[in-house]
Amino acid sequence: ETGVTQTPRHLVMGMTNKKSLKCEQHLGHNAMYWYKQSAKKPLELMFVYNFKEQTENNSVPSRFSPECPNSSHLFLHLHTLQPEDSALYLCASSQEGVAGGETQYFGPGTRLLVL
Amino acid sequence: GQQLNQSPQSMFIQEGEDVSMNCTSSSIFNTWLWYKQDPGEGPVLLIALYKAGELTSNGRLTAQFGITRKDSFLNISASIPSDVGIYFCAGPGTSGTYKYIFGTGTRLKVLA
C-alpha cells in the first residue's frame, strides 16, 4: 500500500464514547500532522509530530489526544467529544529537512459524526 | 494573524472553458502550494511553487508565484467534468514550515 492511509473512513460516536483514529504513511516521511476540516472553514492544523516528537499543539482541547509511536503511525484518541467536533479529520505527512520536503501529502480523512 | 483569501469562493463553468482563481496573503510567503480535494477525499497536491515569479505547469494546470510573494494564481485550461472539486492554496506560516496556512478554497463545478 502506498501514500497515506486512514482508518476508519467514517465514524459515528456518542459524546460519552472513546474511539481512536489511525493514520499510517508509507512514504518514509519524518513529520505527521492532524488537521480538522469543518464545513466552510479553512483546514485547521491540530497537531504536528516530527521524528515522533510533538512539535505543535494548536490549542486543541484535551478531549483530543494524539499519539505517535513511530514515524509511520499517528493516532488521534477521542473521548467525551461534543457535537461541534463533527468534521473531517485529515492526516498528512511530509519529508522535512530536504528542499521541497515541507510539501504535505494527505490521507483520505475520517468523517466523524458526534451525536 | 496570517490569512489566505481565495477568490472566487465558487464558480460554475461550462466544460471546455478556462478557469482562473487566485490566492492572496496578508504576509509574504516563500512557498505556495495548490491542492485539489474531491468530495469525500483528502486534498491532493497539484503544484508547488518555491520562487517569486515562478510559473509551473502540470498538464492542463498552470500556477504562478506572484512577484510580490503575497499572491498566487491557478489556471485550468479546457476544463473537464473531473475538474470538479475544491481547490486550496497553502503556504507556510510564520512559525516555520510545520504550520501551514490553508485558504478557504474555491469550489469548482463544471457543467457538461
- State whether A41 and B44 contact (CB < 8 Å): no
- State whether B102 and A42 contact (CB < 8 Å): yes
Phi-psi region of A3 (alpha: psi -120 to 50; beta: other; left: phi over 0): left
Question: Average pLDDT of B79-96?
Answer: 85
- Radius of gyration of the CA atoms of chain A, in A: 14
Residue of B35, B103, B110 whose CA lies nearest to B71: B103
Question: Average pLDDT of B75-86?
Answer: 95
pLDDT of B1 over the 80 cut: no
Residue-wise pLDDT tens digits, A11-44? 999 998 999 999 999 999 999 999 999 987 888 9
Beta-bridged to residue B41, according to DSSP, are none
CB A25 within 8 A of CB A93: yes
Shortest CA distance from A50: residue in chain B: B98
pLDDT at A3 (0 to 100): 93
| Residues of chain B contacting residue A50, judged by C-beta atoms under 8 Å apart | 98
CB B56 within 8 A of CB B62: yes
Kindly report which listed range (A52-61, B13-22, B56-65, B67-76) carries the lowest average pLDDT score: A52-61
DSSP H or E run through B18: none
Which CA distances in Å does A76 have to A28, A47, A93, B31?
A: 20, 10, 15, 28
DSSP code per residue over chain A: --SEEEE-SEEEE-TT-EEEEEEEE-S--SEEEEEEE-TTS--EEEEEEETTEEEEE-S--TTEEEEEEETTEEEEEEES--GGG-EEEEEEEE--SSTTTT--EE---EEEEE-
Taking the Cβ of residue A75 and every Cβ of chain B, the question of whether any pair is shorter than 8 Å is answered with no
Query: Where does residue A115 rank: exposed (0-12), middle (13-18), buried (19+ CB within 10 A)?
Result: exposed
pLDDT at B2 (0 to 100): 67
